[in-house]
Amino acid sequence: MADTAKPRGTGRTGTRRRTARKEAGPTLNDEQPKVLLDYYRQMLLIRRFEERTAQAYTQARIGGYCHLNLGEEATVVGLMTALQERDYLFTNYREHGYAIGKGIHPRRVMAELYGRSTGVSKGWGGSMHMFDTEARLLGGYGIVGGQLPLAVGAALAVSYRGGDEVVMCQMGDGTTNIGAFHESLNIAALWNLPVVFVVINNYTGMGTTVEKSSAEPELYKRGSSYRMEGVRVDGQDVLAVRDAAADLVERARAEQKPFLLEAMSHRMKGHSVVDPAKYRSAEQAEEAKANDPVAAFEARLTEAGILTDELRQEIADSVKDEVADAADFAENSPHPEVSTLFDYTYATPVPNESSRMPADPVFAEQ
């Protein structure tokens, strides 16, 4: 889960090439072992949670669309660690790990996936539409780019009230090619809004490589069109992501202006649970596997003597139990009552609002 005391960024960033990891970047020397182990546990929790989610989907316990954070654990944990509890988060539909990282209990996240009333959105949102005002996760959004104008609106509200919160708006690389991306960045820059736009570049969008879909494949440079500073970071390195994101978040807070962050992070599976990713070559699949952020961070901690065999097993067992508990909680939680079907259609009562069930007659009998 996310720490209440979050480390501040130092502005250090890392980048990576298409086929090889860049070795330069934050080291473990200046970090507290407890903090590093907490990052590792968070990453492992997201990995095991998503694996269990994929299993539950194939067992028909989860319906609808389902997109996993597998391979993006370092990016997720780094970004969420960079935020303060009072900061707001908007995500796209690949949001399970972000919800957990924002402090929402895995039980509530899994229950939402199962469509149960104990879920984050009371079972009505499912995988793509988690929403928790207390955690300040203001939604996952199924429409590509649908979250960007809303995130800008939230940042405008913060600015209008004179608050010091920051809005983080996460998106995939494909989102940078739609109109809402450019409109949102333009308005945010014009109005000096405290929002950090984060592009998760997994190289393939939904199924087409960034090079074949974007005339400017270095997506962080697109901020320059709006005189907005952009930064690219190695999304496989949790410390690099944390530092880059924390630096931009705190600058957005202090300077009241927007920034653009691009995190290069492999997606280990297809676009969704049911996508076999046949558009990916064997070489690309192997590259994603070789850049597994969980395995890489585990190796770094082991080499540094921070993660012992005993501690590794202890963390693994703890995470396994927590995920099993979340799945058991979801399985045994109640479905929403049919009578609540129309409860959240509108925020306030609307005259003549229909509450007709599918089997009800169009016109009531006189």
- Cα 75–chain centre separation: 8
Residue 348 lies in a domain: no
At 226, list the tokens. 């709006």
- Give me the pLDDT at residue 24, please: 58
Residue 134 lies in a domain: yes
Average pLDDT score, the chain: 90
Percentage of residues of the chain with pLDDT beyond 70: 92
**Which pLDDT band, with edges at 50, 70 and 90, does 5 fall under?**
very low
Residue 144 lies in a domain: yes
pLDDT tens digits, 106-142: 999 999 999 999 999 999 999 999 999 999 999 999 9
Between 11-15, 187-191, 192-196, the lowest mean confidence (pLDDT) is in: 11-15
- Give me the pLDDT at residue 102, please: 97
**Which pLDDT band, with edges at 50, 70 and 90, does 353 fall under?**
confident
Residue 252 lies in a domain: yes
Residue 315 lies in a domain: yes
The mean per-residue pLDDT over the stretch 185-189 comes to: 98
Nearest-angstrom CA–CA distance, 325 and 344: 29
- Give me the pLDDT at residue 365, please: 57
Q: Domain range holding 121?
A: 33-331
- Give me the pLDDT at residue 29, please: 78
Model confidence at 10: pLDDT above 80: no
- Give me the pLDDT at residue 347, please: 85
The mean per-residue pLDDT over the stretch 241-268 comes to: 96
pLDDT tens digits, 87-112: 999 999 999 999 999 999 999 999 99
The mean per-residue pLDDT over the stretch 239-251 comes to: 98
**Where residue 220 sits, what CATH number does that domain have?**
3.40.50.970
Residue 349 lies in a domain: no
Higher pLDDT, 15 or 115: 115
- Give me the pLDDT at residue 21, please: 39
Model confidence at 303: pLDDT above 80: yes
Predicted TM-score (pTM) of the model is 0.88
Residue 8 lies in a domain: no
State the total domains in the chain: 1
Residue 365 lies in a domain: no
